[in-house]
Structure 1
Amino acid sequence: MTDLSMARIDTAQKPKSAAAKQRQARLNEQAREIAERFSAASISPVLLTGSARLVDAVVVIGSGLAAYGTVFGGFRPFGWAYVAAIAIGLMLTLVFAHAADIYHVVAFRSARGQIGRALGAWTLVFAGFSVIGAFFDFGGIVQRNWLGYWFLFGAGGLVVAHGAMSLLVKHWAREGRLGRKAVIVGGGEPAAELIHSLESMPDNDVHICGVFDDRSDDRSPAVVAGYPKLGNIAELVEFGRLAHIDLLIVTLPVSAEGRVAQILKTLWVLPVDIRLAAHTDKLRFRPRAHSYLGAIPMVELAEKPIQNWDFVAKRTFDLIVGTLALILVSPVMIATAIAIKLDSPGPVFFRQKRYGFNNEVIDVYKFRSLRQEMADPDAKTVVTKNDPRVTRVGRFIRKTSIDELPQLFNVLKGELSLVGPRPHAVGAHTSERLWNEVVDGYFARHKVKPGVTGWAQINGWRGEVDTPEKLRKRVDYDLYYIENWSILFDILILLKTPFALAKTDNAY
Structure 2
Amino acid sequence: MKTKTGRYSGYIRPFSFAFDLIIINVFSMHLTELSQHFIFSPLFISCAWFLIALNLGFYEVYRYTKVISILNCALKQGIVFTLFCLAIAFFYSGESDFKEIIWFTSSSLFVILIVKLSIYYFLKKYRVLYGGNFRTVVLLGNTKSIAPLQHFFTDNPDYGYKLIKIFDLENDKRNQILDSFVFILEQKIDEIYCSMSDLTHKQISDITDFADNNLKTLKFIPDEKQILSRNFKFEYYDYIPVISLRDIVLDETLNKAVKRVFDILFSLVIILGILSWLTPILAILVKLESKGPLFFVQKRNGLNYKEFDCYKFRSMVLNDEAHLNQVCKNDARVTKVGKFIRKNSIDELPQFFNVLLGDMSVVGPRPHMVSHTEMYALRIDKFMVRHFVKPGITGLAQTKGFRGEVETDTDIINRVKYDIFYMENWSILLDIKIILITIFNTFKGEEKAY
TM-score (norm 2): 0.70
**Structure 2 counterpart of 1:501, one-letter code:** T
Q: 1:175 to 1:333 in 2, by over 3 A?
A: farther
Q: Show the counterpart of 1:210.
A: 164
Q: Counterparts of 2:103 and 2:381 in 1: how far apart (Å)?
A: 56
- The answer on whether the counterparts of 1:248 and 1:275 sit within 8 Å (CA) in structure 2 is yes
Report Cα offsets for 1:251-273 as digits up to 9, x if no partner: 46356444223212321346665
1:405 corresponds to which of 331, 346, 349: 349
Q: 1:282 to 1:463 in 2, by over 3 A?
A: closer
Q: Counterparts of 1:301 and 1:506 in 2: how far apart (Å)?
A: 34
Task: Show the 5 A alignment for 1:108-507.
Answer: 108=122, 178=133, 182-185=137-140, 194-201=149-156, 204-208=158-162, 210-211=164-165, 213=167, 232-235=179-182, 247-251=191-195, 253=197, 256-269=200-213, 273-278=217-222, 290-308=234-252, 309-330=254-275, 331-372=277-318, 374-379=319-324, 381-428=325-372, 434-502=375-443, 503-507=445-449
User: Aligned-residue CA RMSD in angstroms?
Assistant: 4.6
**Structure 2 counterpart of 1:210, one-letter code:** I
- The answer on whether the counterparts of 2:367 and 2:391 sit within 8 Å (CA) in structure 1 is yes
**Structure 2 counterpart of 1:93, one-letter code:** S
Q: Counterparts of 1:409 and 1:205 in 2: how far apart (Å)?
A: 40
Q: 1:390 to 1:53 in 2, by over 3 A?
A: closer
Q: 1:280 to 1:362 in 2, by over 3 A?
A: same
Q: 1:77 to 1:441 in 2, by over 3 A?
A: closer
Q: Counterparts of 1:359 and 1:281 in 2: how far apart (Å)?
A: 38
Could you tell me which runs of 5 or more consecutive residues in structure 1 were left unpaired when the two chains were aligned.
1-38, 110-168, 223-229
Q: 1:304 to 1:212 in 2, by over 3 A?
A: farther
Larger radius of gyration: 1
Could you tell me which runs of 5 or more consecutive residues in structure 2 were left unpaired when the two chains were aligned.
43-92
Q: Show the counterpart of 1:19.
A: none
Q: Counterparts of 1:247 and 1:396 in 2: how far apart (Å)?
A: 48
Q: 1:221 to 1:472 in 2, by over 3 A?
A: closer
* Count of paired positions: 389
Q: Show the counterpart of 1:42.
A: 6
| Displacement of 1:491 | 0.4
Q: Counterparts of 2:358 and 2:197 in 1: how far apart (Å)?
A: 40
Q: 1:246 to 1:294 in 2, by over 3 A?
A: farther
Q: Counterparts of 1:41 and 1:76 in 2: how far apart (Å)?
A: 37
Report Cα offsets for 1:47-78 as digits up to 9, x if no partner: 7357425413313424765999xxx9xx9999
Report Cα offsets for 1:198-221 as digits up to 9, x if no partner: 2323x7423226347597999899
Q: Counterparts of 2:320 and 2:98 in 1: how far apart (Å)?
A: 65
Q: Show the counterpart of 1:32.
A: none
| Displacement of 1:300 | 3.5
Q: Show the counterpart of 1:119.
A: none
1:96 aligns with 2:42: no
Q: 1:367 to 1:484 in 2, by over 3 A?
A: same
Q: 1:101 to 1:85 in 2, by over 3 A?
A: same
Q: Secondary structure at the match of 2:309?
A: strand
- The answer on whether the counterparts of 2:313 and 2:350 sit within 8 Å (CA) in structure 1 is yes
Q: Show the counterpart of 2:23.
A: 59
1:105 aligns with 2:119: yes
Q: Secondary structure at the match of 2:197?
A: coil
Q: 1:270 to 1:437 in 2, by over 3 A?
A: closer
Q: Secondary structure at the match of 1:466?
A: coil
**Structure 1 counterpart of 2:164, one-letter code:** G
Q: 1:250 to 1:218 in 2, by over 3 A?
A: closer
| Displacement of 1:409 | 1.2
**Structure 1 counterpart of 2:159, one-letter code:** D
Q: Show the counterpart of 1:3.
A: none
Q: Counterparts of 1:97 and 1:348 in 2: how far apart (Å)?
A: 55
Q: Secondary structure at the match of 2:251?
A: coil
TM-score (norm 1): 0.63
- The answer on whether the counterparts of 1:420 and 1:454 sit within 8 Å (CA) in structure 2 is yes
Moved more, 335-344 or 486-495: 335-344
| Displacement of 1:303 | 2.5
- The answer on whether the counterparts of 1:183 and 1:249 sit within 8 Å (CA) in structure 2 is yes
**Structure 1 counterpart of 2:370, one-letter code:** V
Q: Secondary structure at the match of 1:346?
A: coil
Moved more, 363-372 or 331-340: 331-340
Q: Counterparts of 1:267 and 1:452 in 2: how far apart (Å)?
A: 27
| Displacement of 1:323 | 1.8
Q: Show the counterpart of 1:123.
A: none
Report Cα offsets for 1:95-147 as digits up to 9, x if no partner: 323664743534346xxxxxxxxxxxxxxxxxxxxxxxxxxxxxxxxxxxxxx
**Structure 2 counterpart of 1:367, one-letter code:** F
Which protein has the bigger helix share? 2
| Displacement of 1:370 | 1.8
Q: 1:487 to 1:83 in 2, by over 3 A?
A: farther
Q: Counterparts of 1:76 and 1:368 in 2: how far apart (Å)?
A: 48
Q: 1:65 to 1:333 in 2, by over 3 A?
A: farther
Q: Secondary structure at the match of 1:351?
A: strand
| Displacement of 1:450 | 1.1
Q: Secondary structure at the match of 2:23?
A: helix
Q: Secondary structure at the match of 1:306?
A: helix
Q: Counterparts of 1:53 and 1:458 in 2: how far apart (Å)?
A: 35
Q: Secondary structure at the match of 1:388?
A: coil
- The answer on whether the counterparts of 1:214 and 1:232 sit within 8 Å (CA) in structure 2 is no
Q: Counterparts of 1:486 and 1:454 in 2: how far apart (Å)?
A: 13
Q: Counterparts of 2:401 and 2:280 in 1: how far apart (Å)?
A: 28
Q: 1:187 to 1:347 in 2, by over 3 A?
A: farther
Q: Counterparts of 1:488 and 1:282 in 2: how far apart (Å)?
A: 35
Q: 1:265 to 1:276 in 2, by over 3 A?
A: same
